[in-house]
Amino acid sequence: MNVERLGPLEPVAKQNKAKRTAKPVKTGGADSINISQDAKSMGEVYKAAEIVKSSSDVRMDRVQEVKDKLKDPSYIDSKVVESVADSVLDVFGLS
């Protein structure tokens, strides 16, 4: 009886050998990247959020304007009181 070899002694080892990849072709230009529109939008949102975080919560110009109006005795009349009362009721959902 004659047994002939049908394949390599270690068929698994042959399959596990790493195949060499082709070296990347260098072009003469400079390196570059492409940024997707979604990434640009996310960057703009992040930048806007940082600006909002760093800004003051109180607008001092508006505070001074209200203080000046309240110093004027003719400013507070029934029309202003009704307007403020309606605004307060709207805020609490009672109107």
Segment 44-83, tens digit of pLDDT: 999 999 998 888 888 899 999 989 988 888 888 888 889 9
Domain ranges across the chain: 59-95
What confidence score (pLDDT) does residue 7 get?
Answer: 59
Is residue 40 pLDDT above 90, yes or no?
A: yes
Nearest-angstrom CA–CA distance, 46 and 53? 11
∠ CA 36-39-42 to the nearest 5 degrees?
150
What is d(CA 74, CA 83) in angstroms, rounded to the nearest whole number? Answer: 15
What whole-number distance in Å separates Cα of residue 52 and Cα of residue 77? 36
For 24-38, the pLDDT digits (tens) are 777 777 888 899 999
Residue 90 sits at φ, ψ, to 5 deg, of -65, -40
pLDDT of 13 higher than 60: no
- 89 and 95 Cβ atoms separated by less than 8 Å: yes
